Structure 1
Amino acid sequence: MTDPVLEIDNLRVRFDTPDGTVDAVRGVSLTVAPGETVAVVGESGSGKSQVMMAAMGLLAANGKASGSVRYRGEEILNLPPDRLNRIRGRKITMIFQEPMTSLDPLYTIEDQLAEPLRVHGGLSPRAARARALELLDLVQIPDPARRLRAYPHELSGGQRQRVMIAMALANDPDLLIADEPTTALDVTIQAEILRLLAELQARLGMSILFITHDLGIVRAFADRVYVMRAGLVEEQGPTRRIFEAPEKPYTRMLLDAEPEGEKPPVAADAPVLLQGAGLRVTFGKPPGFLRRDTRFTAVKGIDLTLRQGQTIGVVGESGSGKSTLGRALLQLLPAEGRVVYLGQEIAGLDRAAMRPHRKGLQMVFQDPYGSLSPRMTVTEIITEGLLVHEPGLSRRDRAERAAQALTDVGLDASMRNRFPHEFSGGQRQRIAIARAVVLRPRVIVLDEPTSALDRSVQKQVIDLLRRLQAEHALSYIFISHDLAVVRAMADYVMVMKDGAVVEQGPTRAIFEAPGAEYTRALMRAAFDLGDLLTG
C-alpha cells in the first residue's frame, strides 16, 4: 500500500478564552493518499478549518494543538517555524477562505505572487514575473498583465481568490490544502477552477485536501469524504457511498439542506426608499505625462429602484460589478449619477454630511474577517455603531442590544467577549450581520452574506433575514453568485455582466424563463456543476 502524503492522528485543538477553554477539535484522525482528493465537510464551527490551521502551524496565539500530524512520515505538528517552512509554502500549500486578509494591501499582485517563487523556488525577479503572469493566465484572470500591477482592493472577491489559488500553485506543491477555495466565486468560475485543479493534480500527482460546505462540489470533485460535527468526525467514506447511503442522521441533514421558499413581490405602490440613476463607477487614472490610461469602468450607467420591504437580488460572475454597485449606492466609493435615499439626494455628500444617513443604510461585507477588527471583542464590534449613532445609550443598554443581536443571528450571547479569530468563517459572517441589524436600519446591502456558510446555516440566515424584514419592513439589496439562495430570498433580480445589467425582472420570471443567453448560462452552471466539471 502506498504511504499517505498526510496522516493526522487524534488531533486536538483548544483555545483559551475569557469565557474558559474551547475545545474546537476533539480527536480527529484522517489520511490523504498520493494523488487523492479528500473533502472535509461540516457546519460552521465544526472544526474543519482548525484541523488544517493546526497542521500548518497557523493557530492563533491562544490556540494549542496536540496529537500527531505527519507529512510523508515526518512529524510536523508544532515544529519550530524555521523547520516547518522547509515544507510549508513549498511541499504543502494552503488556499485560505478569506483572500482579502491573506493578501497584503500595500503590495501589488506581482509582488505577492513573486515572493513564494523567489523564496521557495529561487527564481530571479525577471523569471518570477514571467511565472506570475503565467499563473494569472492559468487561473483565468482577464488581462493578466494589467492585473499584475493592481493592488488587492482593485480586484473583485472572486479575482482575489483566484490570485490566492495562483500563489498556492506557484511551486507545484505535493499537497494542496484548499479551505473554501471557491466560496467567493460564481459557479461558472468554480467549475473552471476545479477543472484546473483536477488537471494540475493529474499532471503533478498532487494530493488535495478540500475543506468546504458546498456538497455539490464535493460530489463532483472528491474521492473520499470526512463529515465533521462539533470537533469530531461524524462519518467518513467514499464520496458515492456518503451521498447515496449516508449512515448518520447528521450527514443526511446536511445533504437535505437547501434554501426553500419564495418571496412574494411587494406592492407596486410601496414607498421607494432608495433610487440610483445612471450610476457609473470608474477606477484608474487618465493618461498623463509618462503615464498611460489605466481607467476601467466597473459599473456602466445602472438604474435601480428599491421599495420598502423589497429584496433585489443582484447576480453575475466575479468581476461583473455587483459589489461595486452596492458600494456606490451607499456612497462608499466615488460614482457618477444620482442616488436618492428617502427623497433626499445623497450622491457626492462628504463624510460628515453622510453620517446622519449611515444608520439607515448599512452593509454586510463579503469578507467578514476583513471587516471585523481583530483587536475588538464581539461586543465592542457590534456596539461600535451604537456609540456613533445612539450616543445616549448607557453601556448596559448597548451590551443588552449586542446580546439580543447575537441571539437574533443564532449565536450564543455568552460568546460576546471573544475575538473574531476565535470564530469560524460562518460565525464571523453572522457577527457582521448582527453589527448591521443592531442599528435597526431601513436598507441593508448584503454582499455575499451566505457565501461562507454551509447550507444548513444558510437556511437559518435566510429565515433570519426574512423575519427581520417582516418585523421591521427592511429592504435588501442581496448580492450573490448563489442562485439557489437568490431564488429563495429575492422578489426581483438584476443580472449583471461586465458592469452592465443584461436582464432584470421578477424573480420567478427570471428563473423560469430567462431571456438573455448569459442568464441561461448562469442557470445551467448553478444547477448542473457536475456536468460542467466533466464537460
Structure 2
Amino acid sequence: MASEDTILAIRGLKVDFETPDGQVNAVKGIDLDVRAGETLAIVGESGSGKSQTMMGLMGLLAKNGTASGSAKYRGKELVGLAPKELNDIRGAKVTMIFQEPMTSLDPLYPIGRQIAEPIVHHRGGTHKEARKRVLELLELVGIPDPGRRIDSYPHELSGGQRQRVMIAMALANEPDILIADEPTTALDVTIQAQILSLLASLQQRFGMAIVLITHDLGIVRHFAERVVVMRRGEVVEQGTTADIFERPTADYTRMLLAAEPHGRKSSPEDGAPIILEGRDVTVDFEIGGGLFSGGRRLFRGVDGVTVKLREGQTIGIVGESGSGKSTLGRALLRLVKSAGHYRFGAIDISNYDRKRMRPLRKEMQLVFQDPYGSLSPRQTVGEVITEGLLVHEPGLSKVDRDRRAIAALKEVGLDPDARNRYPHEFSGGQRQRIAIARAMILKPQVVILDEPTSALDRSVQGQVIDLLRLLQDSHKLSYIFISHDLSVVKAMSDYVVVMKDGRIVEQGDTDAIFQKPREDYTKALIGAAFTI
C-alpha cells in the first residue's frame, strides 16, 4: 500500500526482452514506491534488473524490450503511455542521468545548447532565450567560468565536469524525481564525493526525490534513506538504510554487505630481491598541433618518479585521473617512450628497444581495466589466452597449447570447456578472469594490474581480489596495482604510492599511508574514499 507522500508507485512491473535464444525476463513483477523528497537506493549486482526497472517505466528500453504492469507518477500511468504524453513527463517531472556522460552527450554540439534542449522543449522559446537559464544551471552545479564553458564541447571537459553538465540538464525543469544510474562509478573518489555532495544540496534546494542506482554500498550507506535490494529481476529485500545495513534479513543482502574488500596483505620478507626498478622515470607527450591550434608542445605525464618492486610485493599506485598512474605502469614495462633508468632483475633494460624487450615480455604482463575491450571478439577464449604462447613458446604443439589453456582456465576458476566460446558470452567478472588467465599462462614474474576491478560489482571484485592473492602466493608474483578505489588498494597492497600531477606525493607501507597520512592530498583522497 502506497503512503500519502508516494509520488511514484510501481506495481507488478515486468521488463522482457526478445532475443534469438528466447525471451529474457529482466524484471519479474516488482513493487516499490518512491516518496516525495527522499533518496531511495536500488542496489544489486549487474543483471539484477535495477537499471532496466527505471528504463522500462521511462520508455527507454531497447527495441527488443517491452514493459508491462504499472508505474504511476502522481496517479498517471506511465507504462504504455503514448510517446508524446510520456515526453511531457520525462525531462520535466522525471529525469535521468547515466554513468558515462560522454556517451550521453552529443559530441557535435556545445554543452550549452544541449542543456537548453529540455528547457526549450518543455517551456517553449528559443535556445537563445534559454541561455540565461543555462548559465544559472552551470553555476548551480559548480562549473567554473560558466560564461566561457557554455560554448565548450563535451570532449573539452573533465569527467567530473561532464557529469555536472548531465546533472544541470536533468535539473533544467526542476523535476520531482531524479534517477541517477551509477552516476559516480567512473569518477575518482574526490570527484565522487563532490558529485554526491552536489546532489544532496540540490535535493534540499528543489525538494526532489532521488532514485540512486548503484552497486557501491559505501555510497548507499551515507547517501540513501531507504534501500531496495534486487537480484535476478526480483526485489529480495527493502527497508530503511539502517535496517538493511544493520539487520539484513536476506542471505543475498548479507552476501553483498560481506563483499566489501577486506583483509590485508603481508609485506614480503626482509631482503626480498628487487624484481623491477625504475629510477627518475620521466614521460613527456606531445600535444596540440591541430589545424588551427598552432605548434605542438610537451606535456609531462610522469616527472622524475622512482619505484622499486620486490619479489612477492604488491605496490598500490593511487591518485586521481591524470595523476600519471597508468603512464608510470606502462613506462616500467617499457611500453611508452620515456627517460630514466630501468632494471628487470639483474638486467639493465634502460636502452632496450622493442626487439630486445620481446624475450622479456612473457615475464612482465599487463592486465587492463576493461577486459571486453582488450579481448578480441573474433577469437575463442582458447585462442585469446594461448596467443602469447605462439610468440614466446613457438615450439609448443597445438595439443600442448590446449593443455596449457585448460590448466590456466582451471587456475582462474573457469570451466575448461569455456575455451571454445567467445568473450561476449561471459559476464564482466568472467571476462576479467580470462584476461588474468591470458597473463598467467606465460608464467610471468611481474604483473601490472591497471584498474582491474573498477568496472566490477563488489561481490565480483572480492572474488577477483581473492583470485589475485591466491595466484600471487602460488607463483611468488610481484604486482603493481593501479586503482582509484582505495578500499581495494588497501586490501591488495603492502606498499602504497600516491601520485598527483605526475609526481609522487607520498609513499610508504599500507598501514602507515591509510592510518597516518602526512600530506593533505593523501588525507583528502582517503577522507573522500572512506566517508562517502
Q: TM-score range by the shorter chain?
A: 0.7 to 0.9
| Residues 268, 313 of structure 2: 8 Å contact kept | yes
Equivalent residue number for residue 201 of structure 2: 199
- TM-score, scaled relative to structure 2: 0.79
Equivalent residue number for residue 533 of structure 1: none
The one-letter code matched in structure 2 to 1:492 is Y
| Residues 361, 444 of structure 1: 8 Å contact kept | yes
- Counterpart of 1:524 in 2: which secondary structure? helix
Q: Deviations over 1:41-88 (max 9, x none)?
A: 123433323323333444455544433334444444466767655544
Equivalent residue number for residue 475 of structure 2: 472
| Of 322-331 and 430-439, the range deviating more from structure 2 | 322-331
Cα distance in 2, alignment partners of residues 340 and 99 from structure 1? 41
- Counterpart of 1:390 in 2: which secondary structure? helix
Cα distance in 1, alignment partners of residues 128 and 500 from structure 2? 35
Max radius of gyration: which structure?
2
Bigger relative CO (Cα 8 Å, ≥ 6 apart): 1
Taking a change above 3 Å as real, the CA distance of residues 506 and 94 of structure 1, as seen in their structure-2 partners, is: same
- Counterpart of 2:69 in 1: which secondary structure? strand
CA-atom RMSD, angstroms? 4.3
1:317 to 2:328 alignment: no
Structure 1 unmatched ranges of 5 or more: 530-535
Taking the TM superposition and a 5 Å limit, the aligned residue runs for 1:381-460 are 383-384=383-384, 386-387=386-387, 390=390, 420=424, 427-440=427-440, 442=444, 443-460=446-463
1:28 to 2:30 alignment: yes
Cα distance in 2, alignment partners of residues 151 and 346 from structure 1? 39
For residue 499 of structure 1, the aligned residue among 497, 502, 526 is: 502
- Counterpart of 1:227 in 2: which secondary structure? strand
Taking the TM superposition and a 5 Å limit, the aligned residue runs for 1:93-112 are 93-99=95-101, 101-102=103-104, 107=107, 111=109
| Residues 302, 324 of structure 2: 8 Å contact kept | yes
1:113 to 2:111 alignment: yes
| Deviation for aligned residue 1:149 | 5.0
| Deviation for aligned residue 1:417 | 5.3
Cα distance in 2, alignment partners of residues 355 and 72 from structure 1? 65
Cα distance in 1, alignment partners of residues 371 and 23 from structure 2? 24
Taking a change above 3 Å as real, the CA distance of residues 77 and 334 of structure 1, as seen in their structure-2 partners, is: farther
Cα distance in 1, alignment partners of residues 161 and 375 from structure 2? 21
| Residues 282, 299 of structure 1: 8 Å contact kept | no
| Deviation for aligned residue 1:432 | 3.4
| Of 308-317 and 3-12, the range deviating more from structure 2 | 3-12
Structure 2 unmatched ranges of 5 or more: none
Cα distance in 2, alignment partners of residues 53 and 323 from structure 1? 34
Taking a change above 3 Å as real, the CA distance of residues 137 and 269 of structure 1, as seen in their structure-2 partners, is: farther
| Deviation for aligned residue 1:30 | 1.5
Cα distance in 2, alignment partners of residues 493 and 83 from structure 1? 54
- TM-score, scaled relative to structure 1: 0.78
Cα distance in 2, alignment partners of residues 266 and 323 from structure 1? 24
| Of 288-297 and 362-371, the range deviating more from structure 2 | 288-297
Equivalent residue number for residue 259 of structure 1: 261
- Counterpart of 2:215 in 1: which secondary structure? coil
Equivalent residue number for residue 532 of structure 1: none
| Residues 190, 529 of structure 2: 8 Å contact kept | yes
Cα distance in 2, alignment partners of residues 36 and 27 from structure 1? 23
- Counterpart of 1:120 in 2: which secondary structure? helix
| Of 467-476 and 394-403, the range deviating more from structure 2 | 394-403
Identity within the alignment, %: 56
Cα distance in 1, alignment partners of residues 135 and 342 from structure 2? 39
Equivalent residue number for residue 278 of structure 2: 275
Taking the TM superposition and a 5 Å limit, the aligned residue runs for 1:181-330 are 181-267=183-269, 268-273=271-276, 275=278, 277-282=280-285, 284-285=287-288, 291=294, 296-330=299-333
- Counterpart of 1:449 in 2: which secondary structure? coil
Cα distance in 1, alignment partners of residues 410 and 24 from structure 2? 20
| Deviation for aligned residue 1:217 | 1.8
| Of 37-46 and 356-365, the range deviating more from structure 2 | 356-365
Cα distance in 2, alignment partners of residues 353 and 135 from structure 1? 55
Equivalent residue number for residue 181 of structure 2: 179
Q: May I ask how many residue pairs the two structures share in their alignment?
A: 516
Equivalent residue number for residue 525 of structure 1: 528
Taking a change above 3 Å as real, the CA distance of residues 143 and 499 of structure 1, as seen in their structure-2 partners, is: farther
- Counterpart of 2:119 in 1: which secondary structure? coil
Equivalent residue number for residue 48 of structure 1: 50
- Counterpart of 2:14 in 1: which secondary structure? strand
| Of 10-19 and 39-48, the range deviating more from structure 2 | 10-19
Cα distance in 2, alignment partners of residues 311 and 386 from structure 1? 26
